[in-house]
Amino acid sequence: MIVGIPKEIKDNEYRVGMVPAGVKTLTDNGHTVLVEEGAGEGSGITNGEYSEAGGDLVSCEQVWTRAELIVKVKEPVEPEYQRLRERQILFTYLHLAPLPGLTRVLLEKKVVGIAYETIKEEDGSLPLLTPMSEVAGRMAIQIGAQYLEKSQGGRGILLSGVPGVPPAQVVILGGGIVGLNSAKSALGMGAHVTVLDNNVHKLRYLDDVFLGRVATLASNSLTIAHSIRKADLLVGAVLIPGAAAPKLVTREMISTMKKGAVIVDVAVDQGGCIETTHPTTHSHPTFYVDGVLHYCVANMPGAVPRTSTFALTNATLPYVQKLANLGVSRAVRSDPALCEGLNVFEGHVTYRAVADSQGVPFRPILDLLN
């Protein structure tokens, strides 16, 4: 198969859909990989590294006109719409539900669109969202530690404390992927860590893996109110799949927090789990409410594109290999997780939530393939 890796052109997007190791794996399997010149620049990967791995460096035009399978990071943006070709396979984050314009283009062009975010394992996990949650979870502590410094607007607290001075109190709401990774980082930096979750299995797991060094609490309005009063750093890491995040920390609760405490609401991309949250950007990341510093950047992994690119492509490559080796039809029949990723197929919407959100008919992919 001819696989194409275009340079991302969405504003402030520095990741790339494939690293040289992926190119080598595919070319070793007999596929051709067309890499747009400069595609890896934002992630610190040179053209030379791609060509050494067996990739063909070509223009943007060549990638889109020749490739049968396009591997990207973000959904196509307007200048890319006209480049899409009939029956081309597009493997990327798509987030089609709120994008009727892009959905229409993909349907008209009969593109086969496979969305990273809807690939789902049998246990309900989302393997192509997990790496970004791992990145954001770890970053939340690094960022929180930095904003706790006085010169950055915080309380002037060192997370670890020092002998004779106690460590900072880190409170994490939600003990999923983000929460676990935040706990790991905070513990590693010597903070005192409390995780709240309303799923007791998650709390049991955290208690086991951290050998009791992380305090766990059942999440309810009382435990939340008590915990955040003593927090120096509060991380919002709650998710109810497919729904807006619940506002677990109210405006009134914020007024009980210490002045100069820091909130990193990672769940901001689902509206945030703190009532005072609103989305911010890497160029203007913070604001204060009641003397509490809020950091609510909706695309945190964008700050570390190199790490994020490698983390993402480690997770996407097995699916790319499957698509290239077997073709779409055999690949989705052989892999139910990948099958969940098919959002549009040759003019039909094949993912129910996308069809429902846009009032268009839903067609199960296996019916179409049969």
Which residues inside 150-169 make contact with ligand NAD, applying CB under 6 A? none
Strand partners, 112: 89
Strands 169-173 and 192-197, bridge-based pairing:
parallel
Q: Are 267 and 273 in contact (CB under 8 A)?
A: yes
Shortest distance in whole angstroms from residue 307 CB to ligand NAD: 13
Q: Does 199 bind ligand NAD (CB under 6 A)?
A: yes
Can you tell me the distance from the alpha carbon of 262 to that of 11, in angstroms, rounded to the nearest whole number?
28
Which C-beta is closer to ligand NAD: that of 88 or that of 181? 181
Stretch that binds ligand NAD, among 71-79, 100-108, 245-253, 326-334 (CB under 6 A): 245-253
Q: Does 196 bind ligand NAD (CB under 6 A)?
A: yes
Q: Does 266 bind ligand NAD (CB under 6 A)?
A: yes
Which C-beta is closer to ligand NAD: that of 88 or that of 277? 277
Which residue of 2, 9, 298, 337 would you call a contact of ligand NAD, by CB under 6 A?
A: 298
Q: Are 160 and 324 in contact (CB under 8 A)?
A: no
Can you tell me the distance from the alpha carbon of 91 to that of 74, in angstroms, rounded to the nearest whole number?
9
Which residue of 23, 63, 69, 268 would you call a contact of ligand NAD, by CB under 6 A?
A: 268
Q: Does 202 bind ligand NAD (CB under 6 A)?
A: yes
Of 369, 341, 353, 363, residue with least CA distance to 113: 341
Stretch that binds ligand NAD, among 85-93, 297-305, 313-321, 339-347 (CB under 6 A): 297-305
Q: What are phi and psi of 188, to 5 degrees?
A: -60, -30
Which residue of 102, 141, 178, 189 would you call a contact of ligand NAD, by CB under 6 A?
A: 178
Shortest distance in whole angstroms from residue 42 CB to ligand NAD: 17
Count of residues engaged in binding ligand NAD, rule: CB under 6 A = 32
Strands 342-345 and 112-115, bridge-based pairing:
antiparallel
- In which residue are the tokens 């990207």 written? 72
Of 252, 242, 293, 183, residue with least CA distance to 280: 293
Find the Cα–Cα–Cα–Cα dihedral 92, 95, 96, 99, rounded to 10°: -120
Can you tell me the distance from the alpha carbon of 351 to that of 17, in angstroms, rounded to the nearest whole number?
23
Of 44, 117, 34, 110, residue with least CA distance to 75: 117
Q: Does 219 bind ligand NAD (CB under 6 A)?
A: yes
Q: Does 198 bind ligand NAD (CB under 6 A)?
A: yes
Can you tell me the distance from the alpha carbon of 230 to that of 157, in angstroms, rounded to the nearest whole number?
13
Can you tell me the distance from the alpha carbon of 63 to that of 65, in angstroms, rounded to the nearest whole number?
6
Shortest distance in whole angstroms from residue 353 CB to ligand NAD: 15
Q: Are 312 and 345 in contact (CB under 8 A)?
A: no
Which C-beta is closer to ligand NAD: that of 158 or that of 311? 311
Q: For the CA atoms of the chain, what is the radius of gyration?
A: 22
Which C-beta is closer to ligand NAD: that of 4 or that of 174? 174
Which residue of 43, 103, 270, 309 would you call a contact of ligand NAD, by CB under 6 A?
A: 270
Can you tell me the distance from the alpha carbon of 277 to that of 86, in angstroms, rounded to the nearest whole number?
42
Q: Does 117 bind ligand NAD (CB under 6 A)?
A: no
Which C-beta is closer to ligand NAD: that of 76 or that of 301? 301
Q: Does 170 bind ligand NAD (CB under 6 A)?
A: no
Which residue of 8, 68, 80, 197 would you call a contact of ligand NAD, by CB under 6 A?
A: 197
Which C-beta is closer to ligand NAD: that of 191 or that of 267? 267
Single-letter residue type at 112: V
Catalytic residues: 95, 269
Which residue of 54, 127, 246, 364 would you call a contact of ligand NAD, by CB under 6 A?
A: 246
Q: Does 239 bind ligand NAD (CB under 6 A)?
A: yes
Can you tell me the distance from the alpha carbon of 79 to that of 9, in angstroms, rounded to the nearest whole number?
9
Shortest distance in whole angstroms from residue 133 CB to ligand NAD: 3
Q: Does 272 bind ligand NAD (CB under 6 A)?
A: no
Q: Which residues of this protein are in contact with ligand NAD, per CB under 6 A? A: 132-133, 136, 173-179, 196-199, 202, 219, 237-240, 245-246, 248, 266-270, 298-301
